[in-house]
Structure 1
Amino acid sequence: MNITTRIGLLAAAAASACLSLPAHAEGEAKNVIFFLGDGMGPATVTASRIYKYGEAGRLNMESLRRTARIKTFSNDAQTTDSAPSMAAYMTGVKMNNEVVSMSANTIATAPSADVNGNRTISNCTPTNGTPVPTLLELAKAKGKATGAITTTELTHATPAATYSHICHRDAQYHIAAQAVPGGTGFNTALGDGVDVLMGGGRNHWTPYDATTNTRGRADGRNLLTEMAAKGYTVAATRDEMAAATGNKLIGLFSSTSHLEYEIDRVAGRGQGATQPSLADMTAKAIDMLSKNSNGYFLMVEGGRIDHALHGTNAKRALEDTIAFDDAIKRALSMVDLTNTIIVVTADHDHTMTINGYSHRGNPILATATDYKTKQTAKAADGLPYTTLVFGNGGTPRKATRDDPSLVDTTANDYLQEVGVNLGTPGSETHGGGDVMLFSTGPGSAPLKGTLDNTRVFGIVKSAAGL
C-alpha cells in the first residue's frame, strides 16, 4: 500500500469517526440556561473562590469547559448599568443606560409618581424607540418553555430584560403588566406567557392599599389574580413553590423589594424564613420547564451580589456569589450537557479589589499580612488594612483611619474601606472592567477569547437554533 493510499484511508476513517460524534452544530442545543451574576466581576469571583474553597480551589462555574472575557460598555456609557448590559446579552443590541430591550435610539425617561407617591406613571412614548426581540421571546416562538428567576424583584432590570421592553428600568409596574397574558399592556411576543417566573417585589403585581400595600399598583389591578385565571400557580413561600404542579408558576417571595441576602435568608431574618434558595428555585424551574418536549430557555440571576457590593459589604457579596454558584451546581446535576448549553457570566464589574501580599491561607475577609512573616501588614499611617477594599463607596473616610484590627472584619455587617467617598450608603459604583464568562454544552465553542456582550446573543441564538 503506497503512502497516498494510506493517507486517503486514514482520512476516510477519521471522517467516519467524526460522523459518530455529537454534531454540536447550529440548533443542536435543545435547552439554554443563562446564569447571570449581577455585578460579579473577576475580583468577586476570585474572592468567593478563596472564601469558600481556598486559593487552589474551584467554583462550580469554573468547572465549565470554556472561558471568555466580555466587554460590557453600553451605547452611551463607558460603565454600564444592569439594564442595557443584560439586554445586550438578550437581544444583541447596544442600548443606552437604564433602557430595557429597546432599540439603540431609545432615550431613558424615568417614570413619574402617582398620587400615592409611587413612581407608577411611565413616561415612555410610542415614538421613543422600538422593542427588539429577546432570546426568551425567540425561544417561546420556537415552542420552547421559558423561565426567568432571580433573587431581586422580578421586575428588576436583569429579569425584565428577558421578557419586557421599556424605555426606563424604573417603570416596574409597567414591566409587570407586560408579563400578564391577555391583560392590558401584555407583551404579545410572549405567546401564552413566560412559563416560570420567580423573584421578589409582590407590590408591583398587586393593588395599592393605604394600610397593607402602600407601594402597590395605582391602577387597582391584581396581576396575580389575572395570572391565576390563565393557569398559573401563584406561590408566596418556599413550601408553596415546592408544592406547585402544572406547567405555569409565578412565585413572589417578598411583599416588597428583593429577596433577603443569603446570610439573612439562612438565618431567617426578615422574610427569609419562608424564602427558597436560588438553587431550590433553579431546580424547580428545571423540573417544570423540562416537561416541554421542545426544550426550554431559563434565565437565573444571582442579583443581590450587586447590592452587597454597592453597599461595600464584601461578606454578603461573597455569600450570595456562593449561593449563585450552588445554583449552577444544582443545574449541572440535573441536565444533559449533550443537549443543554449553559452560560454563566456577569453584566458588569464593581470597584472591589484584592490588594496587598497576604500569605497563602490568610482569610480573604481579614486584614492583609506579609507573606514572608505572616505578620499584619501596615499602611503608611502605621495601621493595618483589609485585603478587600473598594475604589469608591458610601463609607466615610476619616482624617485618621480607624484601626481595622480592633474590629471583626469577617463580621456579616462589616463594611470595607473605600478610596473615594461618595457620601451616600450603598452608592459604590459599578466598574467598567471586563467580566468573565464560563460555558459548556453544544454550541458553546465560539464563547472564547474577548467578546462584546452583544456577540454572546448571536452565539446562544445560533446554538439553540432560534
Structure 2
Amino acid sequence: MTMKRLSPLLLAACCAVGANAGAAPQAKNIIFFLGDGMGPTTITAARIYKGGEEGLLNFERFERTARIKTYSNDFQTTDSAPSMGAYMTGIKINNDVISMKDARALEPGKAGIDLCGSGNGAASPTILELAKARGKAVGAVTTTELTHATPASTFSHVCHRDAVYTIAQQIVPGGAGYNAALGDGVDVLMGGGRDHFTPRDATRNPQGRPDGRDLMAEFAAQGYFVAATRADMQSARVGRKFVGIYSATSHLDYSRARRPEQPSLAEMTAKSIELLARDPDGFFLMVEGGKIDHALHDTRARDALAETVAFDEAIHTAVERMRAIDPGLENTLIVVTADHDHTMVMNGYPKRGSPVLDVVRDYATGQPKKDADGKTFTTLVFGNGANRPDVRADVDSATALGDDYRQEAGVRAPYESHGGGDVKLFAIGAGSAPFKGTIENTQVFHLMKAAFGF
C-alpha cells in the first residue's frame, strides 16, 4: 500500500481521551458485514430456503450474538442512512442523514447536490476514517450503488442520502469537495452506479453528473486501478488503490440473474481482502449485501432469500481467507448484522419440511389451507406493500414458487416499508466477547473502536 497522509483533525479525533481511550488493542483487522434489511424472519426463511429447518447459515455459527435496537434519532423505524451511521459513528442520527450529528435532512432535489449549508449539524468521524487516520488500509464494498446510504455512511457526510453527486466527489482524492478525513483515499471501493461518477449526456448518460466531472478519470489520475467488470477486478494486483464500479447505472444485479461481467459479493469480498491484507497496520473493510433490502421492498421473497444466501457465502469466504492469514482469528474481528428489519412474516402453521416459499398446506392431508374467505395463502407474507388486491384470489404452488412471484401484503402501500423491530448481530474473532445482550446500534461502533484500541 502507498504511504498514507494523516488528516490532523481525524488524528486528533481518534486519539482524543474518551470512553475507549487507552483500551488494549485486540484486533488488527475488522470486517463489518451489513445485510441491508436482514431482519430475524429473513434469516430464518433464508436458513430454511438454503438447508431446511435444522440447518444454519454460516454466520449463525459465530460464537457471539447480540440483539440490536435500530430506532433513529427521530423515528421509531429507521431508514438505512441513520442506522448505518450509528454503526459507523456511535451517535443517533436523523432519518435520511449521512453520518452527521444534529443535522436535519434536506432533500437535494433533481441536482443531487448536498444542500446542507452552514449551521446544520456537523460531520461525525466514522470508524473507517478513524482507521485510516491510524494508518490502516480501508475499504467499502456493496451490491448497491457506491453512493447509496449504507456505503456512503462509511466515508461521506451529507444532509440527505439522495445527494449522490456530492457523495461521489467526497471519495475522489485531490478533487473539489473531497472528504479530507479520508487522508490519501479509501484503498478499496466497489459497487454500482457509475453514472454518479461520470459526465451527464442527454443520450448516453442522462443521470450523469451535472457538473461534467469525470470522477473515474480523476480516480485514475490519483493512481487508482479502475475496474468496470469482473475480469478487470480479477486482474488487479496488490500495491495500488482500487475502485470497481460494475454497472453503468443503478445497483448491481440480483445474484440469481447476475450478468457475467458483474462479480459476486463473495468474489468482491475475496478481492478486497487480497488488496487490503498486505498492509502491515491492518485494515477495516465494510461489506454490504444491499439487494436483500431491495427485494423485500418489492415483496419478492425469493430474491430476498437468495440475496441473503449470497451474503452468507461472502461471509464464509471472508472467514476462510482470514483464517489462511490469521488461523485463530486472534488479530481479526468479523461482525455481521443488519441495519433494520422489514415487515415480512412467516404465518399459518406450515408443515415442517415444506418449501418456505410455497402455499401453506394442511398437515394431515397435504392440501392447501384456506383463509377465512376460502382462499389459499403463502407461508411468507408482508405487513404492507404494493401487492394488496381488493379481493384475494387463490394462489397455487406453481405461482408461489415462480421466480417473479410477489408475496401479498396486508396494507396497500406504494412499496413495502422497513420494520422497526430489533435485528441480530453475530461476531467472531478478536474483541468479539463484548458483543452480547440487547444493545443500541451506537454501541457497536464503540465496541469496534475498543477492539481496534482507539
The reply to whether TM is greater than 0.5 is yes
Shift of residue 373 of structure 1? 4.1
What is the percent sequence identity of the aligned residues? Answer: 61
Q: Which of residues 136, 141, 146 is equivalent to 1:144?
A: 136
Shift of residue 371 of structure 1? 3.2
Which amino acid counterpart does residue 60 of structure 1 have in structure 2? N
| 1:411 pairs with 2:409 | no
Q: Name the structure 1 match of 2:65.
A: 67
Q: Which of residues 164, 170, 174 is equivalent to 2:166?
A: 174
Unaligned runs of 5+ in 2: 1-22
Shift of residue 359 of structure 1? 1.2
Residues of 2 paired with 1:442 and 1:300: CA distance?
A: 18
Residues of 2 paired with 1:48 and 1:464: CA distance?
A: 32
Q: Which of residues 408, 411, 421 is equivalent to 1:433?
A: 421
Structure 1 counterpart SS, 2:175: coil
Q: Name the structure 2 match of 1:4.
A: none
Larger radius of gyration: 1
Q: Name the structure 1 match of 2:194.
A: 202
Residues of 2 paired with 1:377 and 1:339: CA distance?
A: 52
Q: Which of residues 315, 331, 340 is equivalent to 1:328?
A: 315
Shift of the 406–86 alpha-carbon distance from structure 1 to 2, 3 Å rule, reads closer
Query: 1:148-227 residue pairs with structure 2 within 5 A?
Result: 148-227=140-219
CA contact (8 A) 1:359 1:372 kept: no
The normalised TM-score by structure 1 is 0.90
Shift of residue 95 of structure 1? 0.8
Structure 1 counterpart SS, 2:122: coil
Shift of residue 406 of structure 1? 6.5
Structure 2 counterpart SS, 1:274: coil
Residues of 1 paired with 2:398 and 2:219: CA distance?
A: 50
| 1:41 pairs with 2:39 | yes
Shift of residue 112 of structure 1? 2.3
Shift of residue 247 of structure 1? 2.7
Q: Which of residues 437, 447, 453 is equivalent to 1:459?
A: 447
Root-mean-square deviation (Å) = 1.0
Q: Name the structure 1 match of 2:107.
A: 110
Structure 1, residues 184-210: CA drift from partner, whole Å, max 9, x if none?
A: 000001000000000000000011112
Residues of 2 paired with 1:126 and 1:299: CA distance?
A: 30
Residues of 2 paired with 1:70 and 1:26: CA distance?
A: 25
Q: Which of residues 237, 255, 265 is equivalent to 1:262?
A: 255
The normalised TM-score by structure 2 is 0.92
Q: Name the structure 1 match of 2:19.
A: none
Which consecutive segments of 4 or more residues in structure 1 shift more than 4 A?
A: none
Residues of 2 paired with 1:38 and 1:26: CA distance?
A: 31
Shift of residue 121 of structure 1? 3.0
Higher mean alpha-carbon deviation, 160-169 vs 206-215, is at 206-215
Structure 1, residues 396-454: CA drift from partner, whole Å, max 9, x if none?
A: 3222x1111164211111000100011x2xx1000000000000111111110100000
Q: Name the structure 2 match of 1:359.
A: 351
CA contact (8 A) 2:388 2:410 kept: no
Query: 1:371-410 residue pairs with structure 2 within 5 A?
Result: 371-399=363-391, 401-405=392-396, 407-410=398-401
CA contact (8 A) 2:172 2:215 kept: yes
Residues of 2 paired with 1:120 and 1:365: CA distance?
A: 39
Q: Name the structure 1 match of 2:80.
A: 82
Residues of 1 paired with 2:112 and 2:100: CA distance?
A: 20
Structure 1, residues 144-198: CA drift from partner, whole Å, max 9, x if none?
A: 0000000000000000000000010000100010001111000001000000000
Q: Name the structure 1 match of 2:292.
A: 305
Residues of 2 paired with 1:75 and 1:120: CA distance?
A: 24
Q: Name the structure 1 match of 2:56.
A: 58
Q: Name the structure 2 match of 1:287.
A: 274
| 1:91 pairs with 2:89 | yes
CA contact (8 A) 2:358 2:397 kept: no
Structure 2 counterpart SS, 1:189: helix
Residues of 2 paired with 1:92 and 1:121: CA distance?
A: 26
Shift of residue 122 of structure 1? 2.3
Structure 2 counterpart SS, 1:280: helix
Shift of residue 260 of structure 1? 0.4
Q: Name the structure 1 match of 2:220.
A: 228
CA contact (8 A) 1:112 1:122 kept: no
CA contact (8 A) 1:112 1:123 kept: no
Structure 1, residues 89-121: CA drift from partner, whole Å, max 9, x if none?
A: 000000100000000x201001022xxxxx323
Q: Which of residues 277, 300, 312 is equivalent to 2:264?
A: 277
CA contact (8 A) 2:359 2:397 kept: no
| 1:314 pairs with 2:292 | no
| 1:248 pairs with 2:246 | no
Structure 2 counterpart SS, 1:152: strand
Structure 2 counterpart SS, 1:169: coil
Shift of residue 372 of structure 1? 4.3
CA contact (8 A) 1:36 1:299 kept: yes
Residues of 1 paired with 2:193 and 2:25: CA distance?
A: 35
Residues of 1 paired with 2:421 and 2:312: CA distance?
A: 21
Structure 2 counterpart SS, 1:404: coil
Residues of 2 paired with 1:292 and 1:87: CA distance?
A: 26
Structure 2 counterpart SS, 1:273: coil
